[in-house]
Amino acid sequence: MGCYHCGLEIPPDALIVDEERKFCCSGCLGAWRVIRGMGLEDYYQRRDGGILGTRPGETDRQALEPFDDPDYQSRLVSEVEGGREVCLLLDGIHCAACVWLNEQMLRRLPGVSEVWINFATHRARVRWNPEQLRLSEIIGTVRGIGYRAEPYDPALGEQNRARRDRELLSRMGVAGFGAANVMFIAIALYAGYFQGMDAEAKNFFHWVSLVLATPVILYSGGVFVRGAWNGLRLGHLNMDLPIALGAWVTYGYSVVVTVTGSGEVYFDSVTMFLFVLLTGRFLESIARGKAAGSMERLLNLEPRHALVLRDGEPVSVPVREVRVGERVLVKPGERVPVDGLIESGMTSVDESMLTGESLPVTRGPGEIMIGGTLNLEGGVVLIVERVGAETALARILRLVETAQAERPPIQGVADRVAARFVGMVLVLAAATLGFWLWRDPSRALENSVAVLIITCPCALGLGAPAAMLVAMGTAARMGILLKSGETIERLERVTQVVMDKTGVLTLGTPRVERLVPVSGVDERTLLTLAATVERHSEHPVGRAIFREFQSRGWGQVGDAQAARNVPGLGMEAWVDGRLTRVGRSGFVLEGGDPKQDASRPPEDRDHAATWSACGQDGVLLGWIGLGDTLKPKAQEVVAALRAMGLPVTVLSGDRRAVVDQVARLTGVERAESDLLPEDKERIIADLQRGGAVTAMVGDGVNDAPALARADVALVVANATDLAVASADVILLNRDLETVTRAFALARRTLGTIRQNYGFSLFYNLLAIPLAMSGLVSPIVAAISMPLSSLVVVGNALRLRHPPEPTTSHTLTVKEKDA
């Protein structure tokens, strides 16, 4: 049995009140005490039974008050600029009109600043000012219009979905049983229609059909009636109205025929199309669950408990109770519960679900481990740096959910059409009824009901949300975070790609390429002395020199005394009683023979390397040449972008020789060097004035002005660098291939949305005239309507497969570290 309040797994150190009431943490225990203190002992039974919130009244208003408890909100409510934000799970949403109604009601509340509702996931994100409005009032407003709402808890999300599916399955079962038996009777009635049947037997079959159809219309069809009534009493028409109207008009007409004993009944049509509609909703719910699968997998990455070291002993503690600065033990095979700095231990980590990188990465003391990643080999002790909503995983989820909830501009027209669709359907059904009453009264009811049922804005309303939902999940799996739905549209319109060089096309990590000792000095002596001085350096060049020494396996470096960094010049230290320096030639040769040749070595023919001198007591010992490596697949990525019709420009602050060499090796068409940040911004502005829609790919540090100016800003970052204000797209995977995948995914997503809209338009333009002309029966209409939604969702699910990668290739280039 799980926690009495939230349902999570009970840890070994659970807080136990009695045999039934066990709590995973003090927050849940506190929430239970608040509820008990209000005298609402039946709250949990009513909640678990699905009763809470279905009958507005004084008791329900009291039962909502625990949502305002600080302990409860600390788990599920985020503090944001200008107030608070909560994610609500909405039950009872069946069409785009339902989404519109909930949004309008919430936006009317004083203090609510923003509302996003995702039709595909049934989740609402609400931002409000707590000084003007309470969370309980927000939830009460939604429940007051007939929809069930509660704060979305990832741990309970699957449970709630399963409950909704069970309810749908139950209604579908009753409808299926009634429809099957009524259809058997209908076969007899049809046979009697052609071969003759005694009036008494026919009337008996009518009454039996009435008895079988009544539970179907009351129970199975009740969900449509409730939805229609909730909309009507608020002055809004939703898609449940034509369904309920069609079902009850047909049922009522059949009851009149049964009572009067004259005419034909349509109980078979009523039960069958209710069964088909509920089956469609059930399949649609399963499809939506699959569409949200990527998001749910990210949610499931976060462990529920952590082993916190207290008095030297590991204690299992719920993750939400872990505090910054505590020490956490992560065993092999476990997921990392928080963001933390490794204090001790070495291991390899699987970061694929966050970055898309398939190969494990090695992590050791002083390095960051990201919450949600999988520890593969060794046990490590972390010092907690970020917990809860501040972890990288939580911020990633927040970005993805916000992007899923926000509507892209292309969806605006569809939403406006869907909001007015029901009124048009009712007018067309009335026109059909009037026409057929004049033409052939015996077919008037059947044809008007077919119009009511077959027309549906659901496919139109799902066209963009379903595609966006799947696309965001696919992007997250590839290590691509899209900050909004509008970003996908702008990515698809890009005509010019601009890239920074260092850290984007190149790895941005210097490495030793050449050792050029002077006469009488060998390479080992030169590199050993330089590594001894640079051993404790924090400069990228110093670290590269020390790494090179370690990689050659030449033993241990010497003993350096009084090592110090001289900013802008280099490092110096006393080695074996001699002043040894590494850095600029003037600094290294200071105090030595002024006639020494301090020019660069002849090996530097193209001036495309960074050279550090090394010397002792002012005497030059040799030169160390450093370069950078192009990222794997850099040439292929540039070629792939050009094949997509996207020319590439490189903007860099590095020297002309280095930038030109990168351009040659990658096939870039235009390369600009020796640029300041404001120069990059100016060049992008010039491109835009020329009509180009620009995308800037940078590292988010020196490229801020250019990123802000570009139409789309893509930032190459690791998972701890998410707070990049100028970024529209964050590439967690430093593999350059994700750039092409981002553009390819954007094009596929917009293409899928346009296909969905085209199909929805074609379906309604074809179905409505057919139904009005009497060529479609109510049963066929009931099959067609949910199928249209399933086609749209199925088309969107194709986006789950990421774009094909480019082929792998590695190139090398020497450069000055920009």
**Residues identified as active-site:** 500
- Residue of 683, 347, 637, 692 lying closest to 504 (CA atoms): 637
Strand, coil or helix: what is 405? helix
Q: Percentages helix, strand, coil for the chain, rounded to the nearest 5?
A: 50, 20, 30
What region does 559 belong to: left with phi over 0, alpha with psi -120 to 50, or beta?
A: beta
CA 493, 495, 498, 504 dihedral sign is positive
Q: Classify residue 312 as exposed, middle or buried by CB count within 10 Å of its CB (0-12, 13-18, 19+).
A: exposed
> Which pair of structure tokens corresponds to residue 624?
């160390």
Contacts of 294 (CB under 8 A, 6+ apart): 470, 472, 473, 474, 476, 477, 800
Question: How many Å apart are CA 787 and CA 455, to the nearest integer?
Answer: 12
DSSP secondary structure letters along 592-628? S-TTS--SPPTT-SS--SEEEEEEETTEEEEEEEEEE
> Which pair of structure tokens corresponds to residue 153?
């808890």
Q: Which residue has the tokens 């609500």?
A: 88
Question: How many Å apart are CA 333 and CA 391, to the nearest integer?
Answer: 20
DSSP-assigned letter for residue 8: P
The pairing of strands 347-350 and 83-91 is unpaired
- Residue of 789, 781, 793, 788 lying closest to 242 (CA atoms): 781
Strand, coil or helix: what is 814? coil
> DSSP strand E in 331-386: where?
339-344, 347-350, 361-363, 368-369, 374-375, 380-386
Radius of gyration of the chain (CA): 34
The angle, 0 to 180 degrees and rounded to 10, between the axes of the packed helices 523-534 and 540-551 is 130
> Which pair of structure tokens corresponds to residue 436?
């057929």
DSSP secondary structure letters along 618-668? TEEEEEEEEEEEBPTTHHHHHHHHHHTT--EEEE-SS-HHHHHHHHHHHT-
- Contact indicator for 419, 100 with CB cutoff of 8 Å: yes
Question: How many Å apart are CA 364 and CA 6, to the nearest integer?
Answer: 36
| Residue 110: HSE in the Cβ half-sphere, 13 Å Cα cutoff | 3
* Buried residues in 622-640 as b, exposed as e (16+ CB within 10 A): bbbbbbbbbbbbbbbbbbb
| Bridge partners (DSSP) listed for residue 44 | none
Q: How far is CA 393 from CA 464, 644, 732, in A?
A: 26, 32, 12
Question: How many Å apart are CA 217 and CA 248, to the nearest integer?
Answer: 8
CA 726, 730, 736, 741 dihedral sign is negative
Contacts of 228 (CB under 8 A, 6+ apart): 238, 240, 241, 243, 244, 245
- Contact indicator for 729, 487 with CB cutoff of 8 Å: yes
Q: Which residue has the tokens 């009032």?
A: 137
Strand, coil or helix: what is 691? coil
Question: How many Å apart are CA 143 and CA 120, to the nearest integer?
Answer: 20
- Contact indicator for 570, 597 with CB cutoff of 8 Å: no
Count of positions (residues) in the chain: 818
Which stretches of 703-809 are DSSP H helices? 704-709, 737-772, 778-797
Q: How far is CA 342 from CA 327, 368, 372, 379, 385, in A?
A: 10, 6, 15, 10, 10
- Contact indicator for 752, 798 with CB cutoff of 8 Å: yes
